[in-house]
Amino acid sequence: MRRVFALCAASSLALSALALTSPAQAAPFHLIKWSGNSLCQIWDDGVPTKPMPANYRAVSKPVPTFDAALAVKAGLMKKGVCKM
């Protein structure tokens, strides 16, 4: 029983170390604009679902961080593409 416990503990530590040293994969963000109005929303591509309802279109290229998506949204608001 001690051997099994030691084996489980060692494998748990090894997997934890592997998870900590591997690079994190950031889900890209992009802006979507709902049809029928000028509302834009930041969408996280890491979410496994699509926005509901499906009457939207992407108005930006994917960016790596939420802060970068906010900067893109601010630029589109200055240009008048997005209102909010």
Mean pLDDT of the chain: 80
Residue, of 36 and 32, whose pLDDT is higher: 32
CATH architecture of 26-79: Alpha-Beta Complex (3.90)
Report the pLDDT value the prediction gives residue 50, as an integer from 0 to 100. 87
Greater confidence (17 vs 38) lies with 38
Taking the domains of the chain in order of start, what are their residue ranges? Answer: 26-79
**Measuring CA to CA, how many Å separate 82 from each of 13, 14, 21, 69?**
48, 48, 40, 13
pLDDT of 26 > 50? The answer is yes
**CA 4 to chain CA centroid, nearest Å:** 39
Structure tokens at 15: 């997997």
Looking at per-residue pLDDT, the higher value among 32 and 8 belongs to 32
Structural contact between residues 36 and 55, judged by C-beta atoms closer than 8 angstroms? yes
